[in-house]
């Protein structure tokens, strides 16, 4: 039976300098990352194992843009266009694909939650401010 540490590794036969056949256990490269919407390969993300990825800096692990490492640039642009059209009122929320709605909600901007909080803030401004209570001073302790 193969030792547990070799089970996840690829078996490669090589010839050593002493003309002997040697078995090398090599860890395979991970599959390329793919776009969550269209399934296209994502550029700018290395195909390496977790231990190798940890050694890289943050900018080498993934690109510096919105939804980097999750969506391809073309899908990001379509989602941004849909978000703008939705905010402008040119299209309804029901006209957008369900898979796109998840990412549209992640984008910061006007949303139902923000509109609700704005109304709440306006109400607070119109209400009378509450009086602040003064903190009572503790009596000094007597020393012996």
Q: What is the pLDDT along the chain (144 residues), one digit of tens a residue?
A: 778 888 888 899 999 999 999 999 988 888 899 999 999 999 988 888 778 889 999 888 888 889 998 999 999 999 999 999 999 999 999 999 999 999 999 987 655 555 556 666 676 666 666 666 666 666 667 766
* 39, part of any domain: yes
- Give me the domain span that covers residue 85: 32-107
Radius of gyration of the chain (CA): 29
Q: Tell me what pLDDT residue 29 has.
A: 81
Domain count, the chain: 1
- Minimal CA–CA distance to 6: which of 23, 22, 25? 25
Whether 142 is covered by a domain: the verdict is no
For tokens 């599959």, name the residue. 31
Domain contains 8: no
Residue 7 maps to a domain: no
The answer to whether residue 25 sits within a structural domain is: no
On whether the pTM is more than 0.75, the answer is no
Q: What is the pLDDT of residue 81?
A: 94
Its sign, for the CA torsion 37, 43, 45, 47, is positive
End-to-end Cα distance, the chain: 79
Query: In angstroms, rounded to a whole number, what is the distance separating the alpha carbons of residues 30 and 50?
Result: 9
pLDDT of 9: 86
Is residue 78 in a domain? yes
- For residue 68, tell me if it sits in a domain: yes
Look at residue 15 and tell me if it is in a domain.
no
Calpha distance 128→8 (Å, rounded): 67
């Amino acid at each position: 039976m193969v030792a547990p540490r070799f089970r996840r590794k690829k078996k490669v036969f090589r010839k050593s300098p002493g003309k002997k056949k040697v078995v090398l256990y090599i860890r395979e490269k991970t599959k390329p990352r793919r776009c969550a919407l269209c399934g296209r390969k994502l550029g700018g993300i290395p195909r390496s194992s977790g231990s190798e990825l940890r050694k890289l800096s943050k900018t080498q692990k993934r690109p510096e843009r919105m939804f980097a490492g999750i969506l391809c640039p073309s899908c990001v642009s379509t989602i941004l266009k849909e978000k703008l059209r939705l905010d402008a009122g040119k299209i309804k929320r029901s006209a957008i694909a369900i898979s796109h709605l998840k990412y549209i909600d992640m984008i910061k901007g006007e949303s139902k939650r923000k509109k609700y909080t704005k109304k709440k803030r306006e109400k607070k401004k119109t209400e009378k401010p509450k009086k602040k209570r003064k903190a009572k001073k503790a009596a000094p302790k007597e020393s012996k």
